[in-house]
Homo-oligomer: A and B are copies of this chain.
Amino acid sequence: MQRYFVERDAIKEPFIYITGDDCHHISLVMRMKPNDKVYISDQTRSFIASITDIKKELVTLEIIEELQEEKELPFNVSIAQGLVRREKMEEVIDYITELGATSYIPVVMSRSIVKVNLEQMEKKSTRYAKIAKEAAEQSHRLKIMDVKNVMTWKNFLNHAKDYDLCLYAYEASPKDDSLKQILRTKKYTNILVVVGPEGGISDKEVEDLKKNNFLPISLGPRILRTQVAPLYVMSALSYEWEAKE
């Protein structure tokens, strides 16, 4: 069944009103007809709804059933990554949305090989949001991952104060506590994990992270590239929290 995300005010029970791109998608791309059923989420609730009317700019649906689904990780997980090439960044956004991340934060870090063009990056934000939306639909998530605007290192360290657990993936940390040990000491609900850019996290940045109460974690004994590390983190968290004991 086709899945669509709507704003909360699009739902006026028992009806749902769809406009814009999704209206176009329902009528012209999918060529749906009245009585066809779709899945609707407003990111807090989800429904099965049946189409009652299709107009050029407005599709009207009637709610058939509210769904009780557990599709989201039990805690918020944000992945921050040193700025990487656009294609890599898009792939990471796509894959970690599918794996359940809450938000993605591109961060200007000293060893990034990508030149930072803040203006251009902000222009791309619509594209990144679209990738996250489509990946959320594809993976049957209830929520869309939030792709934040690129942050400077200083702004990022300040932003990190909003989390109750801050971690950084660091290959030189096998002797420190493992991700498993950290997760099992206490229940954290808002977790931030930093992954370096292609060139890794610099010594100065490690110093800053430590000063700001970030803990180093090892992602196994092999060296993971920057686009693979976030996938490891998200998979491990799903396995820890979502696989039955």
Name A's B-contacting residues (CB within 8 A): 69-71, 95, 98-100, 138-141, 177-181, 218-225, 228, 231-232, 235-236, 238-240, 242-245
Contact = CB atoms under 8 A, between A and B. Distances in A.
Contacts of A177: 244
Contacts of A235: 231-232, 235-236, 239
Contacts of A236: 235-236, 238-239, 243
B99 A244 contact: no
A245 B98 contact: no
> How many identical subunits does the complex contain?
2
A236 B234 CA distance: 9
Contacts of A69: 221
Contacts of A244: 177-178, 180-181
B232 A238 contact: yes
A239 B180 contact: yes
A177 B141 CA distance: 22
17 contacts: A71-B221, A99-B222, A99-B224, A99-B228, A100-B220, A138-B225, A139-B222, A139-B223, A140-B223, A141-B222, A177-B244, A178-B244, A178-B245, A221-B242, A232-B239, A236-B243, A239-B240
B71 A178 contact: no
Contact of A222 (B98, B218, B224): B98
